[in-house]
Structure 1
């Protein structure tokens, strides 16, 4: 770990936080207190103790933020040349990198994830702004051949004010992956981060203004879903909503959006399969499985939370997997362990509830299966890396999203059974496969009903590759050039000559 980052992390760990975090909403280019004067604590999952306070927003704060975004859309931002928008996004990427260590420490304190993972998220956010900076002046229309007497063409226009509802597991990277393409398209935005992880969205907004973004183009309202999130998605001036979160909340967002016929991008999680065939490089597959489920303590929408493995290699593979899972280091994220805490007491209780119910059904836990604490302090919200082996296809551990470090193992006989198992839930976000047989890999990619497929590497790709789900995992695509079209409305023009 870089010496400067190590120093900042050690200071934050010893002091229980960092100085200078913003405590107000970011509206019209400045930090402001909540209209009603309320605030709430943000808690470090590694200790279970509060480290900062943030403004508790409500409908009035949301109205202020949306009005600011509307004014900005009609102001200099709306008249700015696309190339200049791109230059601002490029400057933002540079500022994120310049402030990467402080952002990573804040992300670690808020989310709980290991500082190395947090730094990777920050650098990914910088890359998102860099990538979409290059797209800002390339949103070209087309001419349509209607004959020599008619000139027809299309124009991509910004959709308007956009709302971004950000989850708690990847705050800065999820904010960046939707905010950057919206800005590249010329939209303005109101961001509502999760109440347990508001810090880096506020810090990012301030950096964007420092990069040259006009006041009001990006606004951030912190607070709780019912008080701040619901008024935002129901606001008539919001023309596009990007939401990442649970299926139940996503359904409520859809219903609210329907009243105003507001466009949506929904990423609603998953129960993603990682298939290991008998012909695979099993050592590489083992590394892939471990990263797929235990990174960020399994709190990833696209986590490989189901291992689907052929019977002939199952026993030996799971034996090695169990030994590796048991040896993973656990601790406060600022010490950069292999596995950090679960984000909240409520989430820890949810994870524990799934496993305890499995035990009550008579299922055997191959490794883990208990809540624990930071071994150095006895504090925090931790759950042991867990494997439940040889589960039935209809078991809740297989079918339901747990969002924690819990791996379900399904044993299959042959490739066709593996494909069937991969498609055997209501989710369809991502799927992975390890095999040396290219034909099987491509057949799997064809037949599995998901938005993204990984072959011989999990979490492959980056901001350049479109990402999103099918079925209960949602619809629409983030990342890649496809994401920019979500924030454009296409206008067709036909002129009689």
Structure 2
């Protein structure tokens, strides 16, 4: 039985996919979409003995619960559990390319992306210039409704809006400095939705909660480092390890750092959402608490098959 549980907050994509499958001639029952809340519809899938392979995208606590349910039926599982992706800006970085990409990575889908580059690590001597340019770019981000020509829309629901606003308050309490944004947008058309301003935090340290925890909103934190060793330590200093981006014109340094950064995907001088440079077919998945296993690519398709050995003595 092949089934997909649609996210309780965003089921339309899965439903539309099922409709396209039906229009393409895939027989009824081959692809099934189950909608409902996670505690009911979602929890039923890993608990069902007829499910022989599971993949889950969500938070580490929910991923743990799914894994426990799968263990009871010895169901193989692939997990993608979010990230706190670093963007390491080295001294020789081309900021004309880096700044627009850094901003796009955190405002895309209002920051509600597992691979969002939510931490910028910049050399201390380049800090002031980078913060100034990112702040200027944040100020001109167009925020609005889905049918408008904008760069960023609203958060998905009131619960997520409260979560993001709570983190903005936590960041201030921890001593981080709000450079741009920092609150809910008001007035038309914002009063009818869950709009939070793109927010840039400066003077952030590695131990702060806004550095360690996935906010899942348009919130970017800037941290400084003095040398390559410190940059790697900060980049690897969270429980996550999904994606990372390196900004440098030194290919040798990029390769050296890419080997040391604990992330399933490392992009150099480009965005790494959906696989390095958005490469079609590139495996996507995480290290550490970002989960295990890979999606996309031929290896992923093979992972949904099972090897069978048949030995025949034809004598």
State the TM-score bracket (shorter-chain normalisation). Answer: over 0.9
How far did residue 218 of structure 1 move? 0.5
The answer on 1:366 being equivalent to 2:179 is yes
Kindly state the Cα deviation for residue 377 of structure 1 after the two structures are TM-superposed.
Answer: 5.7
1:473 aligned onto 2:290 = yes
Q: Which has the higher helix share?
A: 1
1:408 paired with 2:221, answer yes
How far apart in 2 are the matches of 1:200 and 1:414?
A: 44
| Partner residue of 2:53 out of 220, 240, 249 | 240
Q: For residues 17-32 of structure 1, what are the structure 2 equivalents within 5 Å?
A: none
Q: Could you tell me which runs of 5 or more consecutive residues in structure 2 were left unpaired when the two chains were aligned.
A: none
Larger Rg, first or second structure (1 or 2): 1
Cα offsets for 1:290-329 (capped at 9, x unmatched): 1111111111001000001111111011111111101211
Match of 1:269 in 2: 82
Q: Rate the CA distance shift 1:440–1:202 in 2: closer, same or farther, 3 A.
A: same
Structure 1 alignment gaps of length 5 or more: 1-160, 162-188
Which of 97, 101, 119 is equivalent to 1:288?
101
**Equivalence for 1:63:** none
TM-score relative to the length of structure 1: 0.61
Q: Deviations over 1:83-115 (max 9, x none)?
A: xxxxxxxxxxxxxxxxxxxxxxxxxxxxxxxxx
2:281 counterpart of 1:464: yes
Give the alignment partner of residue 259 of structure 2, picking from 434, 446, 470. 446
Offset from partner CA, 1:26-51 (integer Å, 9 cap, x none): xxxxxxxxxxxxxxxxxxxxxxxxxx
Q: Tell me which residue corresponds to 1:483.
A: 300
Partner Cα distance (2:190, 2:109) in 1: 20
- Cα offset, 1:374, TM superposition: 6.2
The answer to whether the aligner puts 1:353 opposite 2:171 as a matched pair is no
Structure 2 residue 12 is matched with structure 1 residue 195: no
What TM-score does the superposition give when structure 2 sets the normalisation length?
0.95
Match of 1:417 among 221, 230, 241: 230
Q: CA shift at 1:413, angstroms?
A: 0.7
Query: Which of these residues, 296, 301, 317, is aligned with residue 130 of structure 2?
Result: 317
Which whole-Å CA distance do the structure 2 matches of 1:453 and 1:477 have between them?
Answer: 14
Higher deviation after alignment, 483-492 or 429-438: 483-492
Residues 32-71 of structure 1: per-residue CA shift (max 9 Å, x gap): xxxxxxxxxxxxxxxxxxxxxxxxxxxxxxxxxxxxxxxx
Q: Larger strand proportion, structure 1 or 2?
A: 1
Counterpart in the other structure of 1:391: 204
CA, structure 1 residues 319+377, in 2 after alignment: closer, same or farther (shift >3 Å)?
closer
- Aligned-pair CA distance for 1:263: 0.6
Q: CA deviation at 1:202?
A: 1.6
User: Contact conserved, 1:330 with 1:375, CA < 8 A, in 2?
Assistant: no
Equivalent pairs, count: 310
Offset of residue 199 of structure 1: 1.9
Q: CA deviation at 1:496?
A: 4.4
